[in-house]
């Protein structure tokens, strides 16, 4: 059953008009953390809920999307280029409003697949050059990711300078990402010209999040100064910069074993090697503190566990 919630129209932008939503907020696509409940809660609060299609075969992804669509009517799906599955991409494009890609050169062939299936194509970029490539490839919108972002980071420029460069270079809607965790910060980037914001870290501590409780508590205890850009967690994805809590870097470096735990990957139990890119979900077991605890510089805005709807209310209070 689809749950309809009356949302008062807020600040309308190119993003809200294109996506047909009420609030210029997109949930970041976080594999393992974005549960169907979290994605639905964001969309039902007026934004664009996202799930990750990474590591999901077409049948598993199709079932997951249908599960979300029983809870809400708006959804986006994110894919990481190093782990792309074209069959799953086609499934996502046939069922979701937006299909988004990250960590690879913008590819017009992928964009064409998305458009042929009736969805909007989005690309997350880390530089002005990538932004231009994404527009040339036919993308409908792009995400400009600054280095303050949690998780894997594409470029080497902070958000506001990057946003200025990108806005001067493209004429498609630009979503700002990286270090955004408060309503005041949202207003700042919208006033700078962004059409929307992309938020991940703040929603890790949502009640609907799939993050492990020890991970959530570490986020609550941390501030922006407690994060670091590193390549420490590179097993499964080498030479890809990512921002995590400093504490997990210290813990994994002092860990003497080869396997730190076990996780659930699209319904299959897998070991978590030391230094794995896998973050700890509620189903993960083992030494959680030595796993990849991704966090952006917005982590200081997390004070407690809240419902996604309450977080959305806080984030939109100044818009």
To the nearest whole percent, how much of the chain has pLDDT over 90? 93
- Classify the C-alpha dihedral 103-106-112-115 as positive or negative: positive
> Domain map of the chain by residue range?
14-201+304-315, 213-299
Which residues are 80's β-sheet partners? 102
CATH for the 14-201+304-315 domain, from 3.20.20.70, 2.120.10.30, 3.30.420.40, 1.10.3720.10: 3.20.20.70
For the segment 105-121, the average pLDDT, to the nearest whole number, is 98
pTM: 0.95
20, burial (CB in 10 Å: exposed 0-12, middle 13-18, buried 19+): exposed
Gap between the Cα atoms of 315 and 286, Å rounded = 34
Mind listing the pLDDT tens digit for each residue in 159-214?
A: 999 999 999 999 999 999 999 999 999 999 999 999 999 999 999 999 999 999 99
Q: What's the pLDDT score for residue 267? A: 75
Using the predicted structure, report yes or no on whether residue 2 has a pLDDT greater than 90: no
């Amino acid at each position: 059953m689809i749950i309809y919630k009356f949302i008062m129209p807020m600040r309308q932008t190119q993003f809200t008009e294109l996506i047909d939503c009420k609030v210029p907020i997109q949930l970041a696509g976080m594999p393992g953390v974005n549960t169907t409940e979290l994605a639905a809660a964001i969309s039902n609060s007026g934004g664009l809920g996202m799930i990750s299609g990474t590591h999901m075969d077409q049948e598993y992804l199709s079932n997951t999307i249908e599960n979300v669509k029983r809870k809400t009517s708006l959804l986006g799906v994110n894919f990481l280029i190093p782990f792309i599955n074209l069959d799953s991409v086609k499934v996502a494009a046939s069922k979701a409003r937006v299909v988004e890609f990250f960590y690879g050169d913008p590819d017009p062939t992928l964009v064409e697949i998305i458009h042929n299936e009736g969805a909007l194509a989005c690309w997350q970029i880390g530089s002005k050059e990538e932004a231009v490539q994404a527009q040339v490839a036919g993308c409908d919108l792009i995400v400009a990711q600054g280095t303050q972002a949690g998780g894997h980071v594409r470029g080497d420029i902070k958000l506001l300078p990057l946003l200025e460069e990108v806005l001067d270079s493209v004429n498609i809607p630009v979503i700002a990402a990286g270090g955004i965790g408060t309503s005041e910060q949202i207003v700042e980037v919208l006033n700078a010209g962004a059409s929307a914001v992309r938020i991940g870290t703040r929603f890790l501590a949502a009640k609907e999040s799939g993050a492990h409780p020890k991970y959530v508590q570490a986020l609550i205890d941390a501030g922006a100064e407690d994060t670091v850009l590193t390549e420490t967690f590179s097993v499964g994805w080498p030479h890809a910069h990512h921002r995590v809590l400093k504490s997990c870097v210290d813990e994994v470096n002092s860990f003497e074993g080869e396997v730190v735990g076990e996780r659930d990957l699209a319904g299959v139990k897998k070991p978590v090697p030391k230094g794995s890119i896998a973050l700890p979900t509620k189903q993960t077991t083992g030494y959680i503190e030595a796993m990849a605890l991704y966090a952006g510089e917005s982590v200081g805005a997390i004070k407690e566990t809240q419902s996604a709807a309450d977080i959305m209310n806080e984030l939109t209070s100044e818009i």
